[in-house]
Amino acid sequence: MTNSVSIFQWASDKVNQLDGAPVWLLVVIFSLCVGYTLKWIKRFPNNLIPLPVVLGAALANSILMSAVRPPGVAFLAWATRQFIVGLVLGFVTWLLHHYVIKRIEARFPFVKDAISEAGLDTAPPFPLDPPKPPSTQ
């Protein structure tokens, strides 16, 4: 019982440490969570994951930065700038995963084993073309 309490206390401490984190770090962490969540959805194709990651980062950055608009700056200009910054952060997150985190996962086989044992890596992709009706001749 004390082990689970200490795990929850550790997790609570880590979440509380994010309270003063910079917005870019929160957006990157959010984007990674979105990407891994979509990866674990069996029917979502892996090659489409970067799109919602990048767009989610843009939306998250826009929402988080909407409250700190400097006075004298038009809302549309500020929102557009923050959306573009979010797109860049989402793209950087995807690159971080593609070139760094993937290699770290490859060095630790227990991560890949846990994913394959859960059946998360064997999901069939969405069909790109609808099935053809049977021909009548």
Tell me the H-state helices in the chain: 2-17, 23-40, 50-65, 75-96, 102-107, 109-117
pLDDT: which is higher, 121 or 133: 133
Between CA 106 and CA 99 the distance in angstroms is 11
pLDDT score recorded for residue 125: 55
pLDDT score recorded for residue 85: 94
pLDDT: which is higher, 15 or 137: 15
pTM value > 0.85: no
CA-nearest of 40, 51, 28, 37 to 97 is: 28
Cα Rg, the chain, nearest whole Å? 20
| Mean predicted confidence (pLDDT) in 55-79 | 88
pLDDT in tens, 58-67: 999 998 888 7
The count of other CB atoms within 10 Å of the CB of residue 60 is 22
pLDDT score recorded for residue 124: 53
User: pLDDT band for position 86 (50/70/90)?
Assistant: very high
**What percent of the chain shows pLDDT beyond 90?**
24
- Mean pLDDT, the chain, whole residue set: 80
Give, to the nearest 10 degrees, the angle between helix 75-96 and helix 50-65.
140
CA-nearest of 97, 99, 90 to 60 is: 90
